[in-house]
């Protein structure tokens, strides 16, 4: 993923994920990365919808779902300086 080019949106516009497709070789990797992405949504609320979509297939991830996760990671790579900044009230 280090050499992957960044993209401007966390999900493919108009895409729909479904349960059908070729299963992933390592579903543990999928679950681990999606779990980490759930944590990232605390400071990056703009990815919440895309993370929610990939979370719906944790039980049986397919290659298509993995591609959606990689797209999310590419988006985060390109927007690494973006985040939720909170300041104390005065």
Q: Bin 12: left if φ > 0, else alpha if -120 < ψ < 50, else beta.
A: beta
Which tens digits make up the pLDDT trace of 2-26?
788 888 888 888 888 999 999 999 9
Instruction: Answer for the pair 53, 90: CB distance below 8 angstroms, yes or no.
Output: no
Instruction: Over range 66-84, report the average pLDDT.
Output: 92
Which tens digits make up the pLDDT trace of 52-61?
999 999 999 9
Burial 37-68 (b: 16+ CB within 10 A, else e): beebbeebeebeebbebbeebeeebbebbbeb
Which tens digits make up the pLDDT trace of 23-47?
999 999 999 999 999 999 998 999 9
Give the per-residue pLDDT at 24: 94
pLDDT at 1 over 90: no
């Amino acid at each position: 993923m280090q050499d992957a080019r960044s993209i401007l949106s966390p999900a493919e516009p108009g895409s729909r994920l479904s349960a059908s497709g070729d299963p992933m070789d390592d579903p543990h990797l999928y679950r681990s990365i999606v779990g980490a992405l759930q944590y990232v949504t605390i400071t990056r609320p703009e990815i919440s919808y895309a993370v929610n979509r990939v979370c719906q297939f944790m039980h049986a991830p397919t290659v298509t779902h993995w591609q959606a996760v990689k797209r999310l990671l590419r988006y985060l790579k390109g927007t690494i300086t973006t985040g939720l900044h909170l300041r104390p009230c005065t």
